[in-house]
Structure 1
Amino acid sequence: MPALCHVYESFALLQFKESLTINNSASRDPLAYPKVSSWTVESDWCSWDGVECDENSGHVIALNLSGSCLCGSINSSNSLVRFTQLERLNPADNHFNYSRILPELGHFPKLTHLNLSASFFTSKTRVLGPLHNRNLSGHFPEFRSRSPLRTLWFSDTSLSGKIPNSIWQLESLEFFSVARWNRLTGQIPHWIGNLTSLTVAIFARNKLYGPVPQSLSRLKHLRSLNLFENDLNGTVDFNMFLEMKHLAELGLDGNMLSVIFRKENATVVRNKFEILGLNSCNLKHFPDFLSYKNGIRYLDLGGNNIHGLIPKWIWNSSAETMAYLALNDNFLTGIKQYSQGDNKESEEILSDIFCNLKSLQLLDFSNNLLSGSRLPKCLEHPNNLLSVLNIRSNLFAVQFLNYAKTTEEAR
């Protein structure tokens, strides 16, 4: 007997048994048998077939009912929802009469394993989001066609394996995120372009490899695409994104990609980028199309192969909105600007020109070939929002470095 008696759990199990019928055709496994036949009032419920209790608390913590020849409907009044201490639940390979997947399953705070395969539930759920659950391991479930799912949010779980092909059947899918703690492998499938209702697609921080599929360009409603920190490789023609007029956030950084730009369409860019991550994308020059854009809040061009002067437009195009600007780990020598009267180029670095960025909070110029000794006056302004200024590993004059260090210490 359990150390603590929870007799109500035995009654709940018996009620669950009585709410269903046994039908040998309800399970496909040739070794299936009715496990609930051993559930009788004469015996300890923790010894019943498929039932596991915690040795200390006596609570039921696991129900393995797979292949139990169970048939019938399950709803919110079913006694199954009373087992709030459940850690593992497996009702696979039964026939639950196309019952709706219970929303109460999301209220089981300790649930780490759930198997609903081949159980004839109906996938009417519109949101499936077990995010922020690093104890949730295993593989992605398979999905059937005509599912009304609109959101798949598996961020910060511990899923592994490949993205199942059955997802392409989710015609209503709008939001798809598998970012951060997951370990998904394989390539981004080409059928991703068939999910034309997608507005958000986030694959960040996985182990996906191979090329960025051209079919992504068919996602005309996409607002956010984040492929940050994977093992993607190959060449990406950036123009595939320029016709996506709703695309505001794009993250290609942290991969092994080579991004190329074609200048001829720069003036007809339709989308309005707000967040653009192109760190370590083997860029050899500044993306010219940005000179026609405004409203950018986050721009990361660090870790590339950009030589020469920083163009003046990078300071003017988003002066009111730019909060994060990273140009680190390139081969930049100065800022291109024009003196009054003769329009001569000047290489004076960190001039007052960047002080026009009124929302700037982070500026990273580190590991370049920048030189100069003039301190921008706006760094001394008490209302300046800039909280991170990284200029190390350049060729600045000693007095400037000392002043910058003192300023940082004062903050």
Structure 2
Amino acid sequence: MDVFASIFILSLLLVLFMNITCVASSLHHELCHNDERIALLKFKNSFVIDNNCSSDDPIAYPKLESWTPENRSDCCTWNGVECDKHTGHVIDLDLTSSCVYGSIYSTSSLFNLSHLQSLSLAGNNFNNSKIPSAMGRLSGLTYLNLSNSLFHGQVPLEISRLSNLSSLDLSDNDLELKRPIFSSLVRNLRNLKHLHLISVDMSSSPVPAFLANFTSLTSLLLDDCQLHGELPNSIFHFPNLQILSLRDNPHLSGYLPAEFHSSSPLKELQLFNTSFSHKIPSSIESLHSLQSLNFGYCRFQGLVPSSLGKLTRLTILDLSGNHFEGQILSILQNLTQITHLLLGENQFTGKIPSSIGNLTKLTYLDLHANKFHGLVPTSLGKLTSLIHLDLSTNNFKGQLPCFFQNLTQLIALNLASNEFMGQISSCLGNLTQLESSKINGHAPCSITRFTNLEYLDLYDNNLGGTLDFDMFLGLKNLDTLFLSGNMLSVQTKTSNKNGTFPRFTFLGLGSCNLTYFPDFLKYQDRLLSLDLQLNQIHGQIPKWIWNITIETMVYVDLSGNSLTGFDHPLVFIPWVHLTYIDLSFNKFQGQLPFPPPSTIAYRVSNNKFSGEVPPFFSNLSSLQLLDLSNNQLSGKPPPCLKNLRSTMLVLNMSNNHFHGGIPHICANQSNLRMIDVSNNQFQGRLPKMLANCTMLEVLNLGNNRFNDVFPSWLGTLPKLRLLILRSNSLHGMILRKQNDHNPEPFSSLHVIDLSNNSFSGPLPCEYFKKWNAMKVKDSGSSSYLKMHMSFYSETISWSGDLDYSTTITSKGMFILYEKIQEALLAIDLSSNRFEGSISDSLGNLQGLHVLNLSNNVLTGSIPSLLGNITELESLDLSHNKLSGKIPPQLEQLTYLSVFVVCHNHLTGRIPQGNQFNTFGITSYEGNMGLCGKPLPIECDQDYSPPPSGAVDEQQDSESPFKFEWLTIVPGYVCGLVIGVVVEQIVATKKHYGLVKTFSHGKLKGRKGRRGLR
């Protein structure tokens, strides 16, 4: 072998040796470090493997079972563990849905893994542990996911040390950000691309303005975080943002930017159940990538821009529950990718165009509670993928469309409250679920042929006659049945067949002429909702009704019967998950029954409950609606009511015997919209804490014993619409104070009633100039003064409008308006001691409908400028000392139906023509100087009025300050109160991703806790 060959062989051997050394070195480094291996094994041994802990995830499996303690076991090969290929350190630990159960603490060996860059503990059960503060020691983390793992309590500030984080997910736990607040947690996390904090309680602070600086965000999910304040508008312009979800934050306000950037990558925009308002800008078309747009149950208004129809990638569009108007369906004809279209509860008009048939991918179409009209086009029968169709509460007409037989995938069909004719046709027999149409005559027996029927809603039709409940015996799959709101007489038999009835989840037998609790209810162990309102059930509630479904019952309405009590002493209502109970309009006596802490609405009005309000009410931390009105309750309201001020929306304690002071129910961030404590014996000064209720729309303190001056500080409430202070001991002059810096006090008032007090001095003309809402003439809108409320639980959602009502008393006759149109504007300053002249500034309130200045000591003439109030329907100036002529300009008031000027010093000819031809003598009596029809005194040249002393003598012979012409008492009509139509009920199936949910009022489908996404 020559020298060159030897050198070549040696070179090959050297290269081979080096490769072997590198491979060996590589193999050595793939083995994890022993200290980290031991730390992982200790972590495993501190928990239990429980397959039920991750049952929500279909691909869950116990990853820790692969972690074995053998000496040669390489932890880098264990499930969920990833190591750095060069150093061997554990850098990624993914235990998502690994069936882990147990508590975790800062002493856990997990926090010895100092090289971790990615950590996921999501989808496990950490037994309500707190997130360990030691999490802040893992300074190398760029990804942290602790979602849906039953963590509890305050999020530790130490997480803010993880400055390298690009993704943080703490969603769907029972966490809060109160100490620290949201801003303290994320201020240093400048590298975040994904921030997911769904259901983390952030109620302690508004949305921080500096969030607008996090421009690197790709996804921001802050659903159900109790956010409040205004969202920085610039967030919509983040250059990388693809998903923005702020759902279920009803006190979070904001508005869309006037211009969206065409470069925006936004794919998903979720504002469901927030207070976003204003209009949708036409620049919405710039969001070319948008696939899901959910503005449901916000406060948007106006026309939907036609440019929305250019978002051709949309698959989900939800505009329901807003104030949109005009025509829209033709705008959407090019959205051929859309699967979910929800437009319900708006003011949309027009017909359904035949082009609706182009949207062949639609699975969910909801148009309910609008003003759509005409025939339903046959092209709708082309939407063969539909599983949910709701056309209810519109003005559709014609025969029940038979082409629905093509929609064989339908799970829910709702045609209720339209003008359809006929009976349920046999051509619908293939449908697995069927609600109703407007059916005249008797309940169709053909229903019994629908053996696959699961959901049947015949609510609010014209059904009459007698219905034998046994007809449902064969429908074994039926779990939802609504017969309420008809003219039926339902017969339920007590027999051994009871055990064979369907096992209902939702049951509505309201207005069915029942006289006792149906016996078959004893066998219903799945009920979530029971409606027996407006029947003739009398006597006591049987004990067994409390025992059925004690763990499942959520919604109960027994209102409008003749129930007197309970057949055994009842202190606590035993349904542990109850959210809504209505016992109103019965004959209950004795102590109030105490509801469970889960209660959101508690209504017991119009009974004979007595005694004091139990202190247990302080435990109702979720209560939003409390109606104790029209009972015989007494004592001082419990101080514990102040504990409810963060959740309460409506408090009605009117018409009882309460005394003392009003509980301190208003604080900063109070959500109260209505307070009615009228017709009690409350006394003292008006509580200034009411000025903290900045959301307040209705305040009724009438018919009490308050002794104070006019509460000018209430002028700071920007949304106050009805203010009732009548029949108290209020006194003094009503003047704007010099230190009042509010430029527009009481600018939203629609109704103000200060009657039957002792106010004196001139009329409050400085306030008249600021009452802007009363300056606007009726625009022809048929909308009503109301408040939208939504109650949510895991199984049921209730959504409805509270319509404020008004009672007008005219000469002893009560007229109840269950709904107040937005147009109604009224001022009642009667029965006080106002003096001086009537201000010309009243003439600027051109939208005013009712003006009552009677029973004062006003002097001077009637201003001719009152003729400018062309909307005026009622004018009462009686029992004053007004003089001069009745201005002929009042003849312009063509809507005037009540005109009373009796017992003044008026002179001259009574105007003739128009409405003045309709008023009788009583409108003018007590004015000795008036002449002309309808008085018997004719006007002639020789006629002269009697001396003023004669007039004074006659007027003073009457009893001034006693005559009452107008009384306005606000209340509300909510949900299922007598006389109010329940608008919509919809239920859908869980296996289609929509949790079955119910509402009397309006009913929503929701996907888990987060709705449609």
Q: Mark the CA change 1:114 to 1:255 in structure 2 (over 3 Å): closer, same or farther.
A: closer
2:338 pairs with 1:247? yes
Q: Which amino acid aligns with 2:363?
A: E
Aligned length: 318
Offset of residue 176 of structure 1: 0.4
Partner of 1:292: 382
Offset of residue 272 of structure 1: 2.2
Give the Cα separation in 2 of the matches to 1:255 and 1:389.
24
Note the 1:37-56 alignment, pairs <5 A: none
String of CA shifts for 1:81-109, please: whole Å, max 9, x gaps: xx9932263899x9x9x952486895986
Give the Cα separation in 2 of the matches to 1:355 and 1:193.
49
Partner of 1:45: none
Tell me, what secondary structure is at the counterpart of 2:247? coil
Q: Mark the CA change 1:289 to 1:87 in structure 2 (over 3 Å): closer, same or farther.
A: same
Q: Mark the CA change 1:103 to 1:232 in structure 2 (over 3 Å): closer, same or farther.
A: closer
Partner of 1:368: 461
For residue 352 of structure 1, the aligned residue among 446, 456, 466 is 446
Partner of 1:306: 396
For residue 175 of structure 1, the aligned residue among 259, 263, 268 is 268
String of CA shifts for 1:166-189, please: whole Å, max 9, x gaps: 544562111101001x11110111
Give the Cα separation in 2 of the matches to 1:223 and 1:348.
41
String of CA shifts for 1:314-338, please: whole Å, max 9, x gaps: 2x2233x322222222233323748
Note the 1:96-245 alignment, pairs <5 A: 99-101=190-192, 110=202, 112-117=205-210, 121=213, 123-143=215-235, 147-157=239-249, 158-165=251-258, 167-169=260-262, 171-180=264-273, 182-236=274-328, 238-245=329-336
Contact (CA 8 Å) 1:283, 1:304: kept in 2 or not? yes
Offset of residue 280 of structure 1: 1.9
Partner of 1:318: 407
Offset of residue 251 of structure 1: 1.0
Offset of residue 229 of structure 1: 0.6
2:365 pairs with 1:271? no
Contact (CA 8 Å) 2:451, 2:474: kept in 1 or not? no
Give unpaired runs (5+ residues) of structure 1.
Answer: 1-58, 64-73, 78-82, 340-345
Q: Which amino acid aligns with 1:142?
A: S
For residue 329 of structure 1, the aligned residue among 407, 413, 417 is 417
Give the Cα separation in 2 of the matches to 1:244 and 1:137.
34
Q: Compare CA radii of gyration and give the structure with the larger one.
A: 2
Q: Which amino acid aligns with 1:112?
A: S
Contact (CA 8 Å) 2:163, 2:191: kept in 1 or not? yes
Contact (CA 8 Å) 2:323, 2:346: kept in 1 or not? yes
Partner of 1:30: none
- Aligned sequence identity (%): 17
Tell me, what secondary structure is at the counterpart of 2:331? helix
Offset of residue 202 of structure 1: 0.3
Give the Cα separation in 2 of the matches to 1:231 and 1:318.
31
Tell me, what secondary structure is at the counterpart of 1:123? coil
Q: Which amino acid aligns with 1:247?
A: I
String of CA shifts for 1:339-392, please: whole Å, max 9, x gaps: 9xxxxxx9986353795594x543333223456879899843353244133363
Give the Cα separation in 2 of the matches to 1:363 and 1:89.
49
Contact (CA 8 Å) 1:214, 1:240: kept in 2 or not? yes
Offset of residue 218 of structure 1: 0.8
Give the Cα separation in 2 of the matches to 1:354 and 1:227.
37
Tell me, what secondary structure is at the counterpart of 1:134? coil
Give the Cα separation in 1 of the matches to 2:195 and 2:326.
45
Tell me, what secondary structure is at the counterpart of 1:335? coil
Contact (CA 8 Å) 1:306, 1:330: kept in 2 or not? yes
Tell me, what secondary structure is at the counterpart of 1:313? helix
Q: Mark the CA change 1:216 to 1:257 in structure 2 (over 3 Å): closer, same or farther.
A: same
Contact (CA 8 Å) 1:350, 1:376: kept in 2 or not? no
Offset of residue 212 of structure 1: 1.6
Partner of 2:183: 89
Tell me, what secondary structure is at the counterpart of 1:352? helix
Tell me, what secondary structure is at the counterpart of 2:327? strand
Which structure has more RCO (C-alpha within 8 Å, separation ≥ 6)? 1
Give the Cα separation in 1 of the matches to 2:463 and 2:307.
40
- What TM-score comes out, normalization by structure 1 length? 0.64
Give the Cα separation in 2 of the matches to 1:408 and 1:258.
44
- What TM-score comes out, normalization by structure 2 length? 0.28
Q: Mark the CA change 1:389 to 1:219 in structure 2 (over 3 Å): closer, same or farther.
A: same
Q: Which amino acid aligns with 2:284?
A: I
Q: Mark the CA change 1:335 to 1:251 in structure 2 (over 3 Å): closer, same or farther.
A: same
Offset of residue 118 of structure 1: 9.3
